[in-house]
Amino acid sequence: MKLSLSLALVFGISIACAQTVKNNLVIIGKTDSLRSKILNEERTVWIYLPLGYDPTQSKRYPVTYLLDAEWNFAAFSGMVNELSSVIGNTVFPQMIIVAIPNTDRTRDLTPTNALVDPGGKIIADFKTSGGGENFTSFIKTELIPHIDSAYHTAPYKLLVGHSFGGLTAINILLNHTELFNDYLVIDPSMWWDSHKLLNQAREQLKEKRFEGHSMFLAIAHTQPGLMDTLAVQKDTSGATNHLRSIIQLKNILQQNPASGLHWGYKYYDGDSHGSVPLIAEYDGLHFLFSYYDFPAGFLGSLNDPNIKVDLQSVFTRHYREISKHFGFEVLPSEDLLNELGGYFLQINLRDRAFTMFSMNLKYYPGSAGALSSMGDYYAYVKNKASAIDYYTRSLKVKEDADVRKKLEKLQAAQ
């Protein structure tokens, strides 16, 4: 939902972020750790929890697993926070982010052992390579179960990887497809081990089906000089091996539409291998969650009483579509329905307000906020008896000074 600032302020939407301030420090997340028997080491992860996350409540959130935490956590979590929570944005869903820092990056993020770089030069630091399957097992059998037990997670999972991390994401997509719903792959190192995984992709995408999964592929400008991508594909030098192998992956994907994979790509002519993750993550999330938001301006247009719309049907269809993509039931948030209902009351669109408040009670029948909001509706239309009833029911769930004052004022006026 893309709202104007004025509408956001009218709705009472908090222009805030998931960061907290403690001891003069701005805190954007927390750390967690677990002992990995598979990797035989202690592993730390960085956790971002969305605005409004409450461990005492039942609401559950999709989870993004983000590789190379050291490089990506701050920017990625800030972007998700901005476009899922701030100023009324619902462009992306609110998500838990689990970012995985490296201990031995080359070991964990390469599927096979190899010693040469894209240009054919032997690299001593590559000697520990080839632990990608163990790392995947760690994610599958240790990390994901730990996160699911410690946090309010929903079944949907997204994997984001860049460079060697992108290579890992492609390996998991091909060989452990069901581990994640969707994949955001940024400038992956498909040159690794003489294009071994690239060659595997050529066969797998012919033989295997990937229905129900989506992938966004980002390609950076890494070729030398003024060479364009057509020249890169004809070149055979080590200088173009990285880009050439990613373009070959893109071509393989285009040649196999029957694989069932929903995918898209973008070439970033103005970005290098190092600069591309930020913009690619933004574009990739837009592609992967293109179904999530309402059409631009739709909700903001509902202040016009001449626009005829069955709000309940619109919301039901929209969230049914989201649920289909996520693989579990997704409901409109209580805050969104309350804010829209309150806004409609302020502009005297009573029927629309009642629809919003009724939907909130349907989805969140035991909520003190949903009950008190319906009390506000009945107070507005001067139905004192019903207002008193809903305020009383709300206070039985949770004491609130403002609701108590409203109730006492109505009782005194009887």
Distance in angstroms (rounded) separating the CA atoms of residues 106 and 112: 10
Residue 217 near residue 158 (C-beta atoms within 8 A): no
- Give the pLDDT band of residue 311 (cuts 50, 70, 90): very high
pLDDT in tens, 90-124: 899 999 999 999 999 999 999 999 999 999 999 99
Name the residue type at position 183.
Y
The mean per-residue pLDDT over the stretch 303-310 comes to 88
The whole-number average pLDDT for the span 383-407 is 96
CB atoms within 10 A of CB 51: 15
Q: What is the spatial distance between Cα 307 and Cα 290, in angstroms, rounded to a whole number?
A: 25
pLDDT given for residue 23 in this prediction: 81
> What does the pLDDT look like over 179-198, one tens digit per residue?
999 999 999 999 999 999 99
Average pLDDT (285-303) is 89
Q: Mean pLDDT in the chain?
A: 92
pLDDT of the residue at 19: 65
Question: In this predicted model, what pLDDT tens digit does every residue of 56-84 receive, in sequence order?
Answer: 888 899 999 999 999 999 999 999 999 99
pLDDT tens readout for residues 343-366? 999 999 999 999 999 999 999 999
Residue 4 pLDDT = 38
Chain Cα centroid distance, residue 55: 19
Residue range 380-390, pLDDT digits in tens? 999 999 999 99
- Beta carbons of 378 and 409 less than 8 angstroms apart: no
Question: Domains along the chain?
Answer: 5-288 (3.40.50.1820), 306-412 (1.25.40.10)
At 18, the pLDDT band (50, 70, 90 cuts) reads low
Tokens of 299: 């909700």
